[in-house]
């Protein structure tokens, strides 16, 4: 009997688990990474990685189906919002697994190519997925693979934003694919008259841009469906409801504490401006917010000291004029991945290490300074040593 490997996928709440087997010789499975606007806005991540699922007749009827487009459906857990599968709408289309929901295992997945990269304007997440496990460049396509032009490693030649420039614009839309979550992020430039030492830890005291981080923790990747996710951090009173009046005036902010936000979302008579914002209680003190329509991850909220008035915000929902990484609003912590140890022992361990290396190489090549948070941590490590 041929050597076979068992593959398992499950959602964050573990209400849904799928298992199949495949020939070990067929591994790693090739994953295509889509960077189109629609995939980013449906997940909250900066990309969507999908690979062929070996069980071609998998029954997905227990999952929530979202009609992503006339040609594609997405399937997720209705409780915790984990995106598990995607499948074309034609009778002969086969299911694909969203790789972030796979249980980590050695030699399971390889990223084969990046598609629809031109949608990102700035290269998006491809800057830290530059090479495969053999050190070869991962091909990037402006649109569909082999149906569009190849994008060279040198693109984009430079960033649109001076990394030391002040945050802009003053307002940036935060919106999911179906429009069920429709909000606006206000920049922190209004804090320029504050003492530098009184600024929140996630605001750059020079540019007033919000700190942006790369995360490899298991619960976060399950929330998004992507193997690597990105968060920024914003005070709740800087997350606004867009105005419906002529002139576009804002109509106030979200509730300004995480406790009040939870109460508002769970209320029987809800503020209609909350749209389809829903939550999953992933632990006693943590709420993970998502769109109940398209299942996009939106916020992470934790009732912890220093975090009662802020949330983590899914970067993939930002609609910024500079592109997917929203560099006019965000200050990126390149060359670093949080919770990298959680990937130990499986194929993601190598992926996250390459994310660190590729992100650092990109930072150095562009002449970007290390983030202030990274400098603080490195200095603290030196002092401890």
Cis omega before residue 28 (within 30°)? Answer: yes
Report the C-alpha gap between 194 and 189 in whole angstroms: 10
Partners of 73 in the β-ladder: 87
Tell me the residue ranges of DSSP E strands in the chain: 4-10, 17-23, 29-34, 48-52, 64-69, 72-76, 83-88, 96-98, 109-115, 171-175, 182-186, 210-215, 229-235, 239-240, 277-283, 286-291, 297-302, 310-314, 330-332
Distance CA 127, CA 358 (A): 7
For 123-164, how does the pLDDT look when each residue is reduced to its tens digit (9 = 90+)? 999 999 999 988 999 999 999 998 999 999 888 877 666 767
Q: How confident is the model at residue 2 (pLDDT cuts 50, 70, 90)?
A: low
Cα-trace Rg, the chain: 20
Phi, psi of 119 (to 5 degrees): -60, -30
From 19-23, 133-137, 273-277, 323-327, the region with the lowest mean pLDDT? 133-137
Specify which residues 74 forms β-bridges with. 66, 86
> Structure pTM?
0.95
**3-class DSSP state of 124:** helix
The answer to whether 70 touches 90, Cβ cutoff 8 Å, is: no
What's the mean per-residue pLDDT of the chain? Answer: 93
Interval 238-261 mean pLDDT: 83
How distant, in Å, are the alpha carbons of 26, 144, 278, 382 from that of 155?
33, 17, 38, 36
What is the C-alpha separation between 301 and 286, in angstroms, rounded?
A: 6
Q: How far is CA 55 from CA 51, 58, 97, 240, 368, in A?
A: 12, 6, 10, 44, 45
Q: Choose between 305 and 247: higher pLDDT.
A: 305
Closest CA to 237 of 254, 218, 258, 213: 254
Instruction: Check: CB of residue 130 under 8 Å from CB of residue 153.
Output: yes
Asked if the peptide bond before residue 59 counts as cis, ω within 30 degrees of 0, the response is no
Can you give the residue ranges of every domain in the chain? Answer: 171-384
Percentage of residues of the chain with pLDDT beyond 70: 96
Q: Cα dist. 374→12, 199, 271, 335 in Å?
A: 30, 17, 39, 9
- Residue 258, both tokens: 């995480």
Alpha helices in 149-257 (DSSP H): 218-224
Residue 6 has a CB neighbour count (10 Å cut-off) of 10
Q: Give pLDDT tens digits for 367-376.
A: 888 998 899 8
CATH class of the domain whose range is 171-384: mainly beta
* Cis geometry, peptide bond prior to residue 327 (ω within 30 degrees of 0): no
Lowest mean pLDDT, pick from 166-180, 241-255, 307-321:
241-255
Quote the CA–CA distance of 156 and 122 in Å, as a whole number: 6
């Amino acid at each position: 009997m041929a050597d076979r490997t068992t593959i398992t996928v499950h959602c964050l709440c573990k209400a849904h688990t799928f298992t199949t087997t495949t020939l070990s010789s067929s591994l790693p499975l090739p994953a295509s990474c889509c960077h189109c606007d629609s995939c980013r806005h449906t997940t909250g991540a900066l990309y969507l990685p999908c690979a062929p699922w070996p069980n071609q007749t998998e029954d997905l009827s227990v999952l929530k189906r979202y009609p992503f487009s006339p040609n594609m459906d997405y399937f997720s857990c209705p409780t915790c919002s984990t995106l598990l599968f995607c499948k074309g709408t034609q009778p002969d289309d086969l299911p694909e697994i969203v790789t972030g929901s796979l249980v980590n295992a050695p030699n399971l997945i390889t990223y084969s190519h990046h598609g629809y990269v031109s949608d990102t304007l700035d290269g998006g997440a491809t800057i830290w997925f530059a090479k495969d496990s053999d050190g070869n460049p991962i091909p990037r396509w402006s649109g569909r693979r082999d149906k569009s032009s190849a994008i060279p490693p040198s693109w984009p030649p430079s960033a649109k934003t001076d990394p030391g420039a002040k945050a802009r614009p003053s307002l940036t839309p935060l919106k999911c694919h179906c429009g069920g979550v429709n909000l606006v992020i206000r920049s922190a430039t209004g804090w320029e008259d504050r003492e530098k030492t009184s600024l929140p830890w996630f605001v750059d005291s020079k540019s007033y841009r919000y700190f942006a981080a790369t995360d490899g923790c298991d619960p976060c990747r399950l929330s998004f469906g992507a193997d690597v996710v990105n968060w920024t951090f914003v005070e709740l009173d800087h997350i606004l409801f867009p105005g419906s009046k002529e002139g576009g005036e804002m109509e106030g902010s979200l509730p300004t504490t995480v406790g009040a936000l939870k109460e508002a979302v769970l209320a029987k008579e809800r503020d209609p401006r909350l749209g389809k914002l829903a939550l999953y209680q992933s632990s006693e003190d943590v709420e993970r917010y998502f769109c109940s329509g398209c299942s996009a991850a939106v916020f992470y909220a934790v009732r912890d000291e220093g975090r009662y008035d802020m949330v983590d915000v899914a970067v993939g929902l930002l609609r910024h004029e500079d592109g997917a990484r929203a560099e006019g609003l965000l200050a990126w912590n390149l060359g670093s991945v949080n919770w990298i140890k959680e990937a130990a022992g499986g194929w993601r361990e190598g992926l996250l290490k390459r994310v660190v290396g590729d992100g650092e190489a990109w930072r150095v090549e562009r002449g970007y300074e290390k983030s202030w948070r990274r400098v603080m941590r490195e200095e603290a490590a030196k002092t401890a040593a």
